Amino acid sequence: MGKGKLAKFADMAANPLVIECPFAVLQQQGTFALRGRWNADFFHNDKPIVLELGCGRGEYTIGLAKSAKEKNYIGVDIKGARMWTGAEEALREGMTNVGFLRTGIEFIDHFFAAGEVSEIWLTFSDPQMKKASKRLTSTGFLNRYRRFLKDGGTVHVKTDSNFLFTYTEELLRANGISPLIHTRNLYAETGEDTLSARSIQTYYESMWRARGIDIKYLSFALPQTGELQEPDIEIELDEYRSYSRQKRSSLEKTK
């Protein structure tokens, strides 16, 4: 029998690889103690820091940390019971280049200092088809990332969602930003430049692929200067995401 939520929360609180700081706690503290000091006080090295925002179970964060030990990885999510899986694996295997931050992504710029992060991964983010401001590739979030991402730091977007991918393509086009890598069918690619995106496959990614949905991937360098504009375009919605949660769950069980 698996652990219940209360037991997982207790494990998370005791796990040295996990930092838990919901915004209410941050407001009480005033400033976040590790802001600008992740390398010195958490990782105890000077390796580049890479974030996975919306890390869920932490599968991708763990996979990246195992495949590229020359970098430090931090998985960020608000749902601690899900993050527990990756955090426990990292602790059990004695990993030293991975950590987890439990907080809301909308507050992410409060946790890292200017230039402290080298890359960001957005893996299978909720496309937020009804509200652009909640999309993790919207101008609002890109401006947040600018506050701590190195100038020209890389943003990776890996998704099943045609809606989110098209939105991100159009946003980059509207702002004169050329993708470094761009593919609408990741697993048809064989090049070295897409290897890191192809080499790790999450549970939900496997589920989408089993349903015949191509995985899309792009990366781009985010400039520090220039006012970012939202794209003025209508985008076709992802029909398969219009299922209710209950109906999606029943579909998943049949796979």
CB 104 within 8 A of CB 78: yes
DSSP state of 44: -
Spatial distance between the Cα atoms of 80 and 159, rounded to a whole number of angstroms: 22
Return all residues near 168 (Cβ < 8 A) that are at least 6 apart: 137, 157, 218
What the block records as the tokens of 231 is 């794209």
160 is catalytic: no
Which of 41, 126, 151, 193 is catalytic? The answer is: 126
Distances (CA, A) of 112 to 102, 105, 201, 217: 14, 12, 28, 26
Spatial distance between the Cα atoms of 205 and 148, rounded to a whole number of angstroms: 29
- Tell me if residue 148 falls in helix, strand or coil: coil
Please list the active-site residues.
Answer: 126
